[in-house]
Structure 1
């Protein structure tokens, strides 16, 4: 696990008040926020009027964004705890997919997975 470049989680979905630096005048804005080092809530992602944030799809997207740090941590833990373990072919492929997803989240090039010596026969 390399150094964190994103705002550490947990993140949560917020409905921001109208007005202010992020709220839409006379309307609502939506955001995903995290607790800063000072303990105060700080916006990570803020949007208003884009992709209908109040729609079920917009709210599902926001929940997925809010879960991103936890999902990344879970994948990193899975890879860390299975590295060096001989796995059945399907599990090995899933670990490689986790590695690719971690690399994409970090903005890194996906690792090469040509090494088949860890693959088991089960």
Structure 2
């Protein structure tokens, strides 16, 4: 209708080896998280462009449009499992005696077979 045609947006894909850490964040982000009894799910940034580091703010979606295959890692923070209230007990108490009896039977059979002349 007389309007100029739209110009397609052009962008150059990322060059292999180009630095993704443009904001100069430290190479390692270490945080000690003490989990509560509640369960929390978090998305941790892996593209290094998030403004909420170390949490993801979906900046990687723009990178995916440029052909960079990157996305957040989802973590599930839970409380540590509670120890069981039962008292610990040994389950294989007779295993040593059974193996000793088996060894004696095998030795007796071998000696008998040797004595008879089978070996």
Question: TM-score, normalised on structure 1?
Answer: 0.19
Question: With CA pairs under 8 Å and 6+ residues apart, which has the higher RCO, 1 or 2?
Answer: 2
Question: TM-score, normalised on structure 2?
Answer: 0.20
Question: Comparing both structures, which one devotes a greater share of its residues to strand?
Answer: 1
Structure of larger gyration radius: 2
